[in-house]
Amino acid sequence: MESGAEIPSYDSVNQSITSPGSTEGSVALDRQSVPANAFLGERVLTFPDADSYEAYLAGLARLELAPITQIDSLRSVRVSRDTLAKLNPDDFGAKSDFSYRVQAPLPPVETNPELLNALRPYALSAYSIAGGAVEGQGQGIVVAIVDSGIEEHALLDATAITEMDFTGDGHQQASHGTAVASIVAGRQGVAPQAELLSVRVLDKNGEGSGFDLAAAIIESVDFGAQIINMSLGVYEDIPVLREAVGYAQAKGVVLVAAAGNDGRGVLPYPAAYSGVLAVTAVDATGRQAIFPNRSKQIDVAAPGVGIEVAAEDGGHSFFSGTSAAAPFISGTLATLMSEGVSGAQAVEILKQHLNDSGAPGVDPLYGAGVMDWGRLRERGIPELHDIAMASVYMDRRGAPGKSSPMLLTVQNRGTSWLPGATLEFTPETGAVQTFSIGSMQPGEIQTREVYVSLPTSSDDVYIFTATASLKDGLVDVHPDNDIERMRFQNRP
């Protein structure tokens, strides 16, 4: 589904290695299990203070050795097996961790193909999907694309791009980063005039080091990036990566990350870290895209099925996955920030104007809701009345043929307080049920419960209509979102 996409589900096979000269209990590479996603023959060392860190580096220099890479601000180094064997970091009070791989999200491989085929692609550019820039054009905002690098492309020829490379292999296989970049900026991006910092941490195989990802975050912050987009991840909680995320957050930088395409009940890091905006994907109907990971840590849902993007060969392609959804959020924040609001303010504005979906309120599929660029544009227009039929939710674990609760949620998507509304539930057969909705502030939701009998076989279909309407005398500016027509059917 996604070119170079989300984190694979690693098996539990362990690998063992032995380091000559190592001692039992040492942080050197002794005989112990190495996680399947860790690099063989490497460790990450972190020192308790500057003196011990400098002493270790000086010791390496005397032996004419050097770390693979280092992050001075975090007092951390990535070192090889041979280096560990020649200078014991225990003597310097170092803490040791495995060095883990990060990857761009892999395509969903275990998801039901029939369900995937039922998803509706957008088949449009990001700029068209968003309806143009929200306010500003992203001017003056630097968005770091921490990814596989960015190839030259006509869609980005007017975009200011600065490059950093943590892989050393140039622009080989930069299709993933190029696609992500074209959603953020350029001729078809959400924030056409945003500046890009291309930070290559993924190699030609779509893999990189968690240590290098941490270094990339810090370098991006120090360069001046206000937003960092990370359409990649790793399921291990890497201490040095956690510290780098904290460094960026302390500087007021907004971090946005893909939620992953593995259909799991957990998120990869950095999306799983507190304060990082974790983005899931929806299709053109607004449905959760089946393949994303599900978690209460999901923050927001954005388009992620069949997005038209820049291809590495200079042409166009269609890009799917949470890797496509994340840059929609990064670009939108850039447009808001280019009008003078801070990163924190932009995030709050975005969250206040999401469309509730799925289970009422924040849920593991949609987070706080789905992006709505129209609401962002209209937020400054007073006295707009807009009642919406936000979602219809049924727990699919209900027993076929048994009476089960269905939750009907309405939302005030206007800019004005509503004195009340009416909700009408009309099944294809059976009695109509009418509910009174109390007064609602802008953005507020209210839910009513009805009981229905789930179909008993794949031949049975339950069809109904749910309609929200305003009180007499009020004009709904968006009547198209007042009605939900749905059908429930048991799949064999």
- 176 is a catalytic site residue: yes
Residues 175, 323, 338, 357: which is the catalytic one?
Answer: 323
Determine contact, residues 244/211, Cβ cutoff 8 Å.
Answer: no
Q: Residues 171, 176, 353, 385: which is the catalytic one?
A: 176
191: its two tokens:
């924030």
Report DSSP letters for 417-428, one per residue: -BS-EEEEEEES
Whether a cis peptide bond, with omega within 30° of 0, leads into 292 is no
Per DSSP, which regions of 69-132 are E strands?
69-71, 76-80, 95-97, 101-103, 124-125
| Sequence-distant (≥ 6) Cβ neighbours of residue 82 within 8 angstroms | none
Q: Which of 147, 212, 262, 283 is catalytic?
A: 147
Please state, in angstroms and rounded to a whole number, the distance separating the CA atoms of residues 270 and 251: 17
Q: Which of 203, 241, 197 is nearest to 220 (CA)?
A: 197
User: Can 153 be counted among the known catalytic residues?
Assistant: no
User: Which residues does residue 318 pair with via DSSP β-bridges, in sequence order?
Assistant: 308
- Which residues on neighbouring strands pair with residue 394, listed in sequence order? 406
Q: Are 332 and 371 in contact (CB under 8 A)?
A: yes
Could you give the 3-state DSSP secondary structure of residue 24?
Answer: coil
88-to-22, 44, 56, 449 alpha-carbon distances in Å: 9, 13, 9, 65
Nearest C-alpha neighbor of 234 from the set 13, 14, 38, 16: 38
Q: Do 387 and 412 contact (CB within 8 A), yes or no? A: yes
Provide the token pair at 229: 């987009």
DSSP symbol at 471 = P
Give the closest residue to 483 by CA, choosing from 397, 393, 391, 404.
391
3-class SS at 220? Answer: helix
Has 323 been annotated as catalytic?
Answer: yes
User: Do 489 and 458 contact (CB within 8 A), yes or no?
Assistant: yes
Q: Which residues are catalytic?
A: 147, 176, 323
